[in-house]
Structure 1
Amino acid sequence: MSAATRASRDLRRLSISPLRYPGGKGSLFSRLRTLIRANRPSNAVYVEPYAGGAGAALALLASGEVKRIVINDLDPAVFAFWRAVTAEPKGFAELLKQAVLTVDEWERQKDIYLTADRHNYLELGFATFYLNRTNRSGVLNGGPIGGKDQTGNYKIDARFNKETLLERLRIISLYARHIVVKNSDGIDVIKEYCEEPNSFIYADPPYFEKAGSLYLNSFDEAAHTLLADCLNERADRMWVLTYDNVPNVGQLYGDRRREVFALNYSAHRVMKANEVMVYSDLVELVEVQPGLF
């Protein structure tokens, strides 16, 4: 294997986010990198209005593809996590080192998650992280891996490798001054950053199917339509969008270029799903896209 091939493989596997997210888009790093290189200078600002695990954002920042990233999530618990790991990395790391991986502790952290002051970013953020790493598929409103009786094939600590997670937190802390964390409506973030000349927006909203079981801030039909209105009105700005491959996408974005791609999906069971990437009119596609429609 050549050095170039190894480097390309390593970049595709660059995994920095400490969060597990259903349908996480870290695997799109290579595709997003290609689009950013073709459409934005080296000082690009990469924006995720519906960040979740922000896997692609962190990989693009750490690899030097973009100068700054904007992580936005309307969920106050997810926002608290990102705020804590960027503003209080030492305190967060200490909580991680001391974490006890038992069902009793899981119950305690769940109670914190449900009742903590949303402005106590460290406490709420760590509880969110704890549940994300110990719950089945990382779903925050799910149950612990292995069940409360811990009789499953995997136990509560199966996805909680402290050494690996501490290293990911350390990397994030190195880039913290280049990370903007927001707790706003995604549409407001799109409107704000569409006006920045160097911005590249990647919108990955809650999907049409099964959204209610995967996200705490699910979209209804009206929310999907509002987002489409916002983006279609800004077709001359720099943005891409991903959705599940359902007819609704063609109905809402019929005037935009769209491409179907396969993505590994790990909520409840491992599978491959076809999804759709939608491109604004300004995005230049530098590769032939045989599946474009």
Structure 2
Amino acid sequence: MNKFISPLTWPGGKAKQWNLIKSYFPKNTERMRYIEPFFGGGSIGLNALREDLFRDYTFNDINTDLINFWKGIMSDKNFLEMYKPILKLIFHPKVKTLDEIKSIYAEIERETPNHWLLFLLKNNLTFNGSVKGTWTQQRLEQNWNHNKFERVLETSKLLNKKYWSTLPLVHFENNPAQGSMFFGKYNSKTWMKNTFYYIDPPYFEIKNLYEYSMSQKQWKKFKGWIREINNYGAKFCISLNDCPEVREMFKEFNIYEAAWKYTSSNTKNCPIKIGKELIITNYEIKE
């Protein structure tokens, strides 16, 4: 099955690495719950959902605007289908000037200030998806077209998949990753042993890439949280940048090296680089 590409541009997005990352997942996960504490652009969770790898899914992120975007396109499934011809005009390839897009943005903002489409516009028209970045003509021409709209439609359908035809498969939360969502109502060993966490936190000590990075104090709490997950019997897979501090922090677990090609700006003129990542698990991977 071809990998699914998220409609969002996101720092550290891993859609192109889906098959590689999936190879580090546990086997026979169809009866397990999937929790992703740092959902971000959603590439891994959406692909897992598309391939029906788990029984249900909880997607969490501390970014409220981001979670509102995902919940918005999830709840707007009927709206998207009903107004598809009109909405496609917004994504029309002939809309090629920033002034036209800004006019559309202002009109939507007047009518529905928190609409998911506003977040999508800001995300797609700035370098690396930065909400606070400057909109550029280059990003508009490369990243705003009918293919983008089709991704939004497909994502909405994915998020509305049902369990046994009636129960929703997907739940969204808007909490700090180490928040009460994960310990409180979920902290029984019976519940946790059937739970899998895919954890893709901000890269260690790389602060200018993310809107939400982590301090040394937060990393210390993060390490304690990982140990608690492990003690409760849940399985986890962490993806982090390769550096001595990360290797030391998680030396008690299984550490695997992964490498892949990536471009930092998603443009044709950007040279190909090799991304080096550590995959950290509390279960062994049979190669």
State the TM-score, normalizing by the size of structure 1.
0.76
Instruction: Compute the displacement of 1:25 (Å).
Output: 1.9
What is the 5 A alignment of 1:249-260? 249-260=246-257
Instruction: Give the number of the structure whose residues are more often helix, by fraction.
Output: 1
Secondary structure of 1:157 counterpart: helix
**Alignment deviations for residues 172-206 of structure 1 (CA, whole Å, 9 cap, x no partner):** 23332322111111112443657444321011111
**Alignment deviations for residues 102-134 of structure 1 (CA, whole Å, 9 cap, x no partner):** 423665788899x99xxx7x8343222111111
Secondary structure of 2:274 counterpart: strand
Instruction: Compute the displacement of 1:77 (Å).
Output: 1.2
Q: Distance in 1 between matches of 2:4 and 2:79?
A: 22
Residue in 2 aligned with 1:81? 69
**Alignment deviations for residues 30-79 of structure 1 (CA, whole Å, 9 cap, x no partner):** 244344451x4313322110011111111111122223222111111111
Gaps of 5+ in 2: 161-167
Residue in 1 aligned with 2:236? 239
Q: Distance in 1 between matches of 2:106 and 2:274?
A: 34
Q: Distance in 1 between matches of 2:209 and 2:107?
A: 20
Instruction: Report if the CA contact (8 A) 1:232-1:253 is conserved.
Output: no
Q: Count residues in correspondence.
A: 259
Q: State the 4+ residue runs in structure 1 displaced beyond 6 angstroms.
A: 108-113
Secondary structure of 2:208 counterpart: helix
In structure 2, the CA distance between the partners of 1:256 and 1:37, relative to structure 1 (3 Å rule), is: closer
Answer with 15-24 or 103-112: which moved more.
103-112
Residue in 2 aligned with 1:47? 35
Residue in 2 aligned with 1:27? 16
Q: Distance in 2 between matches of 1:44 and 1:207?
A: 27
Residue in 1 aligned with 2:212? 217
Residue in 2 aligned with 1:286? 286
Instruction: Report if the CA contact (8 A) 2:240-2:278 is conserved.
Output: yes
Instruction: Report if the CA contact (8 A) 2:55-2:169 is conserved.
Output: yes
**Alignment deviations for residues 75-102 of structure 1 (CA, whole Å, 9 cap, x no partner):** 1111111110111234467585343654
RMSD: 3.0
Q: Distance in 2 between matches of 1:109 and 1:255?
A: 53
1:273 to 2:256 alignment: no
Residue in 2 aligned with 1:57? 45
Letter of the structure 1 residue corresponding to residue 120 of structure 2? F
Secondary structure of 1:234 counterpart: helix
Q: Distance in 2 between matches of 1:286 and 1:230?
A: 26
